[in-house]
Amino acid sequence: MAEEWNPKIIAIICNWCSYAGADLAGGARMQYPPDIRTVRVMCTGRIDPLFIMKAFQDGADGVLISGCHFGDCHYLEGNYKAAKRMFLVKNILKNIGFDDKRIRMTFVSASEGAKWAGVVEDVVKTVKELGPSPLKQFEK
């Protein structure tokens, strides 16, 4: 019997809101898929588009960016900058043949543990439907 494929998803998340929301979900023992590997940054405004491209190059099947809600950024405009960059990255990915559903940006506050669990479930479901990254065919 074939083993079920589980996606490798990298979540780059804001320290102040989304990381705290993820921590709340874990502390409350909310159930969600374990397919996400988190990278904590101080602000989503710090995320360089090359971080995302590197994640795909290194074998990620999907990337989730999550930060503070608009108007709540601890660094005032970091989430706006990140949203603009995400638009750019999605367009680049589409132009090279990636389905832009492999990358998602969400906004989860520190008090939204249940929302975090829902976001993770939805991202994992979407990436599972898309299957392995198209770059997997070029792996050694």
Q: What is the per-residue pLDDT for 1? A: 53
Question: By residue range, what is the domain housing residue 122?
Answer: 9-138
Residue 3 lies in a domain: no
Residue 21 lies in a domain: yes
Each residue's pLDDT, cut to its tens digit, for the chain (140 residues) gives 567 899 999 999 999 999 999 999 999 999 899 999 999 999 999 999 999 999 999 999 999 999 999 999 999 999 999 999 999 999 999 998 899 999 999 999 999 999 999 999 999 999 999 999 998 776 65
Residue 131 lies in a domain: yes
**Number of domains, the chain:** 1
The CA-CA-CA angle for residues 82, 14, 90, to 5°, reads 35
CATH of the domain at 131: 3.40.50
Q: What is the per-residue pLDDT for 74? A: 94
Residue 81 lies in a domain: yes
Q: What is the reported pTM?
A: 0.94
Residue 4 lies in a domain: no
Q: What is the per-residue pLDDT for 135? A: 86
Beta strand 103-107 with 36-41: parallel, antiparallel or unpaired?
A: unpaired
Q: What is the per-residue pLDDT for 3? A: 76
> How many alpha carbons lie under 13 Å from residue 44 in its C-beta half-sphere?
34
Residue 98 lies in a domain: yes
Residue 2 lies in a domain: no
Residue 40 lies in a domain: yes
Q: What is the per-residue pLDDT for 19? A: 97
